[in-house]
Chains A and B, each alone.
Chain A
């Protein structure tokens, strides 16, 4: 039902975005003005074909993302309404934004002799910025679904520790895409460095690329893999293939732990994600180790074999409580 609404409304937006530029094509200048500077003076152009493809392509991409989020959210409404709400927000807000941008661009160019004559109405930029945002917030509110039970009501997992026993848990996870991206950035840096140093290529776009590649490499080194360790000393989470830096959490700070499936669509994407009261280290969707602090906050890490790690944390915390 929900999915049908999302598909149909998306199809309606798509139809409008195909029909409007095609219907008015005869009355548009070639190239069109597609960007306006201060004072509504056009300062950027594109041919009709580029404008048509770009506006439609961006919208269809948003539509697909929204459909995925809504479909996924509908599957597990009880635990993951956040993804569905985001999907509805993207669908409604994104749809309106796409229609607004496309519509006002056509409107401004309509019957203009050349692109320099295209005047953007003064209200258009404000309306395009404010209206879709408001609609997106409203759609997220309406599509939020039932509030899910965040922490499992069931008994958190635990295991029996015998006296004189040393138990540890070690796990890791890496995202092959991020590893590949990091590797590609490193290779790119090497190639760029060699080309620049040997003077085969000088300056220009290549030099501009170097900081970007370095940034990707640096971020990749810290977030393409995560290793976690639970020992009697506490929990240690190491970032990146090198396992540095390490974040240590002492057992005294931990209330309890459990594992649950979480997805990037629920926490706002991949990487380190933080909102007040809960941060997430998300490398891949699926099994996550969730640690609830005594102070009330939560830390979630996407990691393999999280159930056993949680069980050991709970057992160690319980042991501390007794001792």
Chain B
């Protein structure tokens, strides 16, 4: 599972982790029914508290993306929903735009130009 976190992101860490996992599932790392690496492994690799990862996993369970099973760990329940993924990407786009000095309105204009 490939996870990326943006160090400049102002959102709470658990939201970012949830976003990263959602993206990894959306990109096809995991099919429905596949088991995720244990939260401990993810937390170790990212260098964050395991509880933060657990909180992110619980959020995704509430979303219906993951399911927790006793003794079998965490597995993917269904494909990531397109809207949630798009939202994630749009947020990244906004962040990148900000880095180049563009505001939200500029990005909207840009999108309208594209159609």
Interface residues of A (CB under 8 A from B): 159, 162, 164-172, 227, 229, 231, 243, 305, 308-309, 311-312
Residue of A165, A170, A172, A229 touching B6 (CB-CB under 8 A): A165
- Nearest-CB residue, chain A, relative to B96: A162
Interchain CB contact under 8 A, A166 and B2 = no
Chain B residues lying within 8 Å of A227, measured Cβ to Cβ, are 37, 41
Most chain-A CB neighbours within 10 Å: which of B2, B5, B29, B96? B2
Interchain CB contact under 8 A, B5 and A166 = yes
Interchain CB contact under 8 A, B2 and A231 = no
Flag whether B94 is at the interface (Cβ < 8 A). no
Chain B residues lying within 8 Å of A167, measured Cβ to Cβ, are 2-5
Chain A residues lying within 8 Å of B4, measured Cβ to Cβ, are 165-168
Interchain CB contact under 8 A, B45 and A171 = no
Chain A residues lying within 8 Å of B96, measured Cβ to Cβ, are 162
A168 to B1 alpha-carbon distance, docked (Å):
8
Interchain CB contact under 8 A, A231 and B37 = no
Interface of A is mostly: strand
- Nearest-CB residue, chain A, relative to B29: A305
| Chain B contacts with A in 73-104, Cβ cutoff 8 A | 96
A247 to B31 alpha-carbon distance, docked (Å):
29
Interface residues of B (CB under 8 A from A): 1-8, 29, 37, 41-42, 44-47, 96
Interchain CB contact under 8 A, B46 and A172 = no
Question: Shortest CB–CB separation between residue A315 and chain B, in angstroms?
Answer: 10
Chain A residues lying within 8 Å of B6, measured Cβ to Cβ, are 162, 164-166
Interchain CB contact under 8 A, A169 and B2 = yes
Question: Shortest CB–CB separation between residue A246 and chain B, in angstroms?
Answer: 11
A311 to B3 alpha-carbon distance, docked (Å):
13
Question: Shortest CB–CB separation between residue B66 and chain A, in angstroms?
Answer: 16
Interchain CB contact under 8 A, B8 and A170 = no
Nearest first, the 4 closest Cβ-Cβ pairs linking A and B are: A168-B45, A167-B4, A308-B2, A170-B37
A38 to B29 alpha-carbon distance, docked (Å):
61
- Nearest-CB residue, chain B, relative to A305: B29
Question: Shortest CB–CB separation between residue A305 and chain B, in angstroms?
Answer: 5
Known: A229-B41, A305-B29. A164 touches B2 (CB 8 A): no
Chain A residues lying within 8 Å of B44, measured Cβ to Cβ, are 229
A301 to B29 alpha-carbon distance, docked (Å):
18
Interchain CB contact under 8 A, B7 and A166 = yes
Interchain CB contact under 8 A, A170 and B7 = no
Interchain CB contact under 8 A, B45 and A165 = no
